[in-house]
């Protein structure tokens, strides 16, 4: 049987969410996964992989504490793979020396260079576009076209976002640093802050809800939350109150982030883990991600969902995520310097 463990939040931030977890012991024909991705998002792929290969996947889910757990386990860790979202978390695990390179494997070539670590320590599995959600009633078509436009005084008191230090916002700020340099990125962030309708709060869905309630007119969100809201009867009116805008189509393209995977440094089931990595990067694995999760595939040529097709094709920012990772610390510092969350 596949082991699925949901772990509760445990008090202080420094306490690992994995505390008290019974270890998973390695054996032939299995792969052990530590995951920040919710089981319902990845279990369907694991089940198909097991059906096709006979290799069992033991998945352990937690909201936090993965890096600390891997560090404390060291060479005795049963984990073969880690699954997480955002370039920040992937790069943190690599920088802690907890992963190993798998360059030279066939599946790596299916993943574009900008969505994988140059040294082969992590690989994107899906992409998520950082879109602008705009009120259908209060924002005219083509009235906002870029991230830079968010700092225009015309939007004063009309923008909602989550915390400026959330990994998704940090990555966007880091991309602005890479594009324009720190001084210009700081000026832009100050402009966005001055246009906020309220103190940054909530998740991406909460921003769209705020638009539907008239609190603000614009929000910056990950595209797949639109798909999730449209599957929830209570949230359908939120999603239907906004238009989806893919920013910067006239220049560099829309900022993209990833969900991804990495092979752990001491993976006890390395060969089987590599098979799972290859499956998830295959046409079948990629199409399952698209249809079940609403995320875009990293691999070219994979059919999109009906909802994605309704939004149409768009230009992606080709900036390497490793560059964004390198600018994360500066992005957090800028958020502090402008008092974005104050």
How big is the chain by its Cα radius of gyration, in Å?
20
Give me the pLDDT at residue 19, please: 39
Three-state helix/strand/coil letters over 37-59: CCHHHHHHHHHHHHHHHCCEEEE
Give me the domains of the chain, ranges plus CATH numbers: 4-127+256-309 (3.40.190.10), 129-255+316-337 (3.40.190.10)
DSSP state of 153: G
pLDDT digits (tens, 9 = 90+) for 235-259: 999 999 999 999 999 999 999 999 9
Scanning 96-180, the segments in alpha helix (DSSP H) are 167-180
Check if the beta carbon of residue 241 is closer than 8 Å to that of residue 208.
yes
Query: What parts of the chain have a pLDDT lower than 70?
Result: 1-28
* Token pair belonging to 49: 């992989």
Give me the pLDDT at residue 276, please: 96
pTM above 0.75, yes or no: yes
**Phi, psi at 265, each rounded to 5°:** -60, -35
Q: Round the average pLDDT of the chain to a whole number and report it.
A: 90
Check if the beta carbon of residue 123 is closer than 8 Å to that of residue 117.
yes
CB atoms within 10 A of CB 103: 11
3-state secondary structure of 148: helix
Give me the pLDDT at residue 116, please: 93
Give me the pLDDT at residue 28, please: 53
pLDDT digits (tens, 9 = 90+) for 11-68: 333 333 443 343 444 445 999 999 988 888 899 999 999 999 999 999 999 878 889 9
Q: Cα–Cα distance between 196 and 54 in angstroms, integer?
A: 52
Q: Cα–Cα distance between 235 and 225 in angstroms, integer?
A: 10
Length of the chain: 342
Check if the beta carbon of residue 126 is closer than 8 Å to that of residue 298.
yes
Helices 283-293 and 39-53, axial angle in degrees (round to 10):
150
Number of Cα atoms under 13 Å in the Cβ half of residue 286: 20
Question: What are the Cα distances from residue 189, in Å, to 9, 162, 172, 182?
Answer: 32, 13, 10, 10
Q: Cα–Cα distance between 60 and 34 in angstroms, integer?
A: 5
What is the CA 272 to chain-centroid distance, rounded? 25
Residue found under tokens 């984990």: 79
Q: Cα–Cα distance between 278 and 267 in angstroms, integer?
A: 16
Give me the pLDDT at residue 3, please: 39
Give me the pLDDT at residue 8, please: 33
């Amino acid at each position: 049987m596949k082991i699925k463990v949901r772990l509760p939040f445990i008090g202080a931030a420094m306490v690992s969410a994995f505390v008290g977890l019974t270890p998973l012991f390695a054996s032939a024909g299995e792969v052990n996964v530590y995951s920040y991705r919710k089981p319902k998002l990845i279990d369907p792929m694991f089940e198909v992989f097991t059906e096709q290969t006979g290799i069992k996947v033991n998945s352990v889910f937690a909201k936090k504490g993965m890096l600390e757990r891997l560090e404390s386990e060291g060479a005795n860790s049963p984990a073969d793979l880690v699954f997480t979202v955002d370039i920040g978390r992937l790069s943190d695990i690599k920088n802690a020396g907890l992963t190993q390179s798998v360059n030279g494997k066939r599946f790596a070539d299916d993943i574009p260079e900008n969505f994988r670590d140059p040294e082969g320590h992590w690989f994107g599995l899906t992409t998520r576009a950082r879109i602008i959600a705009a009120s259908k009633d209060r924002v005219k078509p083509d009235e906002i076209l870029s991230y830079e436009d968010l700092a225009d005084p015309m939007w004063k008191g009309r923008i909602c976002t989550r915390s400026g230090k959330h990994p998704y916002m940090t990555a966007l700020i880091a991309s602005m640093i890479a594009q324009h340099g720190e001084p210009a990125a700081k000026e832009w962030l100050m402009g966005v802050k001055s246009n906020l309708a309220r103190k940054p709060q909530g998740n991406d869905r909460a921003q769209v809800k705020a638009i539907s309630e008239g609190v603000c007119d614009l929000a910056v969100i990950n595209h797949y939350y639109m798909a999730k809201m449209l599957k929830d009867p209570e949230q359908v009116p939120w999603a239907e109150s906004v238009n989806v805008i893919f920013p910067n189509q006239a220049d560099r393209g829309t900022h993209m982030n990833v969900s991804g995977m990495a092979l752990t440094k001491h993976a006890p089931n390395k060969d089987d883990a590599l098979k799972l990595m290859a499956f998830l990067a295959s046409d079948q694995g990629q199409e399952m991600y698209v249809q079940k999760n609403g995320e875009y595939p990293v691999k070219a040529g994979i059919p999109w969902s009906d909802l994605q097709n309704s939004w149409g094709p768009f230009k992606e920012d080709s900036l390497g995520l490793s560059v964004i990772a390198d600018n994360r610390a500066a992005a957090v510092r800028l958020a502090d310097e402008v008092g974005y969350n104050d």
